[in-house]
Structure 1
Amino acid sequence: MNAIMTDFDFKRGSEPVPEKWEGFAELDRALAENRLTEYRIRKAWADPLNRRITIGVLTVIACVFAFLAGASFGLW
């Protein structure tokens, strides 16, 4: 098996990213600034259904944590 790969074109983070996606300027800027996770979280929070699901999941996690903490302290 020949796994030697040559002619890599690595781009450094300081180099400007070319404008490839003209319709996705915000996403392109997010990729260029390496903040794709923040972009996804903001887009998910902007959607009302995703916001409700997120709040519901965090509420369930907090309730489970509170139950386990209360059980460990002998409250019930």
Structure 2
Amino acid sequence: MLESIYEECLKYELERNGYDVKQQLTVKIDYYDLKTETDLRLDLLVNDCVVVELKTVESILPIHEAQLLSI
């Protein structure tokens, strides 16, 4: 899968630049007093602060740009 190759390369580059990176980390989600049944799997967690979710597409479409701007 291309995504897994990109993920490994990005992890390598981030670590090479001094970041602490955890890969394919499973975390429990607690929302106030709600305990969720489903765990969340993070592609990358950088410095225990930034979540990186990787997606691959053949080409960037206008909808992808709109998604980035809406976050």
**TM-score clears 0.5:** no
Q: Which has the larger radius of gyration?
A: 1
- State TM-score, norm by structure 2: 0.26
Which has the larger strand fraction?
2
- State TM-score, norm by structure 1: 0.25
Q: Flag the structure with more relative contact order, 1 or 2, with Cα contacts below 8 A and sequence separation at least 6.
A: 2
Which has the larger helix fraction?
1
